[in-house]
Amino acid sequence: MSSFVSWIRVSLSGFTMVLLSVVFFMLMIPLLPWRIARIYCCNVYGSIAGSGMAWSCGARLRFHHRERIYEAKPAIYISNHTSTLDMWLGMWICPMGGCGLAKREIQLVPGVGQLYTLSGHPLIDRSNRERAISTMNSVAEFVTKNGLSLWLWPEGTRSRDGQLQPFKKGFVHAAIATQLPIVPIVVHNAAKVWPRGKLKFNPGPVDIVVLDTIDTSGWSAETIEQHVEDVRSVFERKLAEGPPSLA
Q: What is the pLDDT of residues 92-126, one digit of tens each?
A: 999 999 998 887 777 777 767 788 888 888 888 77
Average pLDDT over residues 227-243: 95
Amino acid 1: pLDDT = 63
Tens-place pLDDT, residues 142-194: 999 999 999 999 998 888 888 899 999 989 999 999 999 999 999 999 999 98
Task: Give this prediction's pTM.
Answer: 0.90
Nearest to 176 by CA among 208, 222, 134: 222
| Residue 247 pLDDT > 60 | no
SS3 3: helix
Nearest to 171 by CA among 143, 210, 146, 191: 143
Residues whose CB falls within 8 Å of the CB of residue 178, separated by 6 or more in sequence, listed in order: 76, 140, 143, 144, 150
- Helix H or strand E encompassing 184: strand 182-188
| Residue 218 pLDDT > 60 | yes
Amino acid 53: pLDDT = 86
Cα torsion 25, 103, 135, 150: sign: positive
State the average pLDDT for the chain: 88
Which carries the bigger pLDDT value, residue 231 or residue 160? 231
Tell me which of 40-54, 79-93, 165-179, 191-205 is least confident: 191-205
